[in-house]
Amino acid sequence: MENTQENKKGHLHPLSIITKDIVHIFAELGFTVAHGPEIENEYHNFDALNIPSYHPARDMWDTFWLKPAHTRKLLRTHTSPVQVRHMEKNSPPIRIIAPGKVFRHEATDATHEAQFYQIEGLMVDTNVSLAHLKWILETFFRKLFSQTVSVRFRPSYFPFVEPGVEIDMSCFKCGGSGCSVCKQTGWIEIMGAGMVHPHVLTSVGIDPEIYKGFAFGGGIDRLVLLKYGIEDIRLLYSGDLRLTNQF
């Protein structure tokens, strides 16, 4: 009697699939993966990123603080501290991405989680500009979603970049004509980015008069939900194979 159940392969979780895609696409563009801790200190998560404690922009990140309070330890609210940690130990030219888990102290619902994954990117060199950022991101999204998507920049603000931009991707589903995925706008808001702020470069000992850099960051979960049409972010952390085994 032959049992057809044997040699059956298992399944990767969709977050792992997309992360793998991201890592490989960026490797082809010369970006390698950098790592950083999930338990961070205030300096790397905020101060070194030009977000001093009194800065109103701190309100953009609802933070989980750790005990004891005087240690000022926290769960990283974004993957941006990995930029700082990498630049502290490495000199330009730099091309890294940092996928990783981040935490936000907020109420959870179908589109919000207190834990989720982000992808961070950083390129520092003597000649780096917003135009290069656009090429890199457009190339990335075309490989991840479809050859037809394009990227546009809108004004935004993050204390660790200047200029700061919001990244919209043209809708991969409808091609820009408007559908439920893009809320009839033809565009999907997908990342934040900008040119690394001179204060950030200075704080890690890189001369902003010689080097420039771009940085970007966005949610991997959101890419997963968008790409596969999953309706609830919480499903990703439910440990439920009815999700995993569809992939």
Partner 1 sequence: MKVSYTWLQEYFKEKLPPAQELAQLFTMYAFEVESVEKKDSDHIFDVKILPNRAHDCLSHRGIAREIGTLLSLKLLAEQKEHSHTSYKSSSCVIETEKKELSNRQSAAIIRGVSVKKSPAWLAHRLEALGQKSINNIVDATNYVMFSIGQPIHAFDLAHIHQKDGIYRLVIRDSKEGEVLEVLGGQECTLPQGVILISDENVGRDAILDISGILGSTRTEVTEKTTDLLILSANFNPVKIRTAAKKLGLRTEASVRFENGITTELTMEGLQDVCRLIVDIAGGNIEAIVDIQNTPYEERTITLAFSDIEALLGFSIERKQITSILRKIGCTVHEDGENCKVTVPAGRLDMAIKEDVIEEIGRVYGFFNVPPREPKMHTQKVVQSPQTICVESVARALVDDGFDEVYTYTFRDKGYVELQNPIARDKNFFRQTLITGIQESLVLNTHNALLLGLYDAVKIFEIGTVCSGEGEYTALCIGIVPVKKVKNTDEFIDSMCVEAIEAVGRALGITIENKKHNNGVWEINLSECFKRAPATDKIGHVLTSPTDVDQKYTVGEYVKYKKISPYPFMLRDIAIFVPEGVSDSDVSDLITKEGGELLVSQTLFNIFNKTTPDGVSKTSYAYKLVFQSQERTLSNDEITIIMQKVTNAMNSKDGWQVR
Quote the least distance from Cβ 144 to partner 1, whole Å: 6
Catalytic residue among 34, 128, 151, 161: 161
Quote the least distance from Cβ 101 to partner 1, whole Å: 7
Distance, in Å, from the CA atom of 113 to the CA atom of 88, rounded to the nearest integer, reads: 31
Quote the least distance from Cβ 38 to partner 1, whole Å: 5
With respect to partner 1, which residue has the nearer C-beta, 176 or 247? Answer: 247
Question: In the structure encoding, which two tokens stand for residue 86, read together?
Answer: 């990498």
Judge whether 23 and 99 are in contact, CB under 8 Å: yes
Q: Is 57 a catalytic residue?
A: no
Distance, in Å, from the CA atom of 230 to the CA atom of 237, rounded to the nearest integer, reads: 13
With respect to partner 1, which residue has the nearer C-beta, 59 or 205? Answer: 59
With respect to partner 1, which residue has the nearer C-beta, 15 or 48? Answer: 15
Question: In the structure encoding, which two tokens stand for residue 52, read together?
Answer: 């001093």
Helix, strand, or coil (residue 103):
strand
Catalytic residue among 13, 104, 132, 199: 104
Q: Is 161 a catalytic residue?
A: yes
Give the residue among 218, 215, 232 at the shortest CA–CA distance from 168.
Answer: 218
Q: Is 69 a catalytic residue?
A: no
Catalytic residue among 44, 76, 86, 118: 118
- Helical (H) or strand (E) element with 214: strand 212-219
Question: Which residues are marked as active site?
Answer: 61, 78, 104, 118, 161, 215
